[in-house]
Amino acid sequence: MTPLKTLHILNKPPDHSRYRLCLCAIGPEDGLLLTENGVLAVTWLADINSERCFALAPDLEARGLSPQISSEQIVSFEDMVDMAATAEHVISW
């Protein structure tokens, strides 16, 4: 994967005001990583049609949501570290 310009780490559910704020700030070269209750976005399908959208495996599994996202989009903490290290910038929402 080409390095991301900005990695957006989103841990808020879709009904949270900062979730909506985050979606406004994602540029075409950016990546979105869903963590904690951010992974609930996978049930709001319209929001996750991007190839640069990922979700943290333990949070998906805890919530029973792994079947609802393609396996290429599921990442580990090791992947998260790699993304956070290689992206030009990181924003935690």
- Report the interface residues with its own copies, using CB under 8 A: 15-17
For another protein, the binding residue among 1, 3, 18, 50 (CB under 8 A) is 18
Does 58 participate in binding another protein (rule CB under 8 A)?
yes
On whether the CB atoms of residues 6 and 89 are closer than 8 A, the answer is yes
First to last CA, the chain: 23
On whether the CB atoms of residues 84 and 1 are closer than 8 A, the answer is no
On whether the CB atoms of residues 2 and 83 are closer than 8 A, the answer is no
Least spacing, CB of residue 13 vs another protein, in Å? 5
Least spacing, CB of residue 13 vs its own copies, in Å? 8
Q: Which does 81 bind (CB under 5 to 8 A by kind): another protein, its own copies, none?
A: another protein
Q: Any idea what the Cα angle at residue 10 is, between residues 8 and 12, rounded to 5°?
A: 160
For another protein, the binding residue among 14, 51, 53, 55 (CB under 8 A) is 14
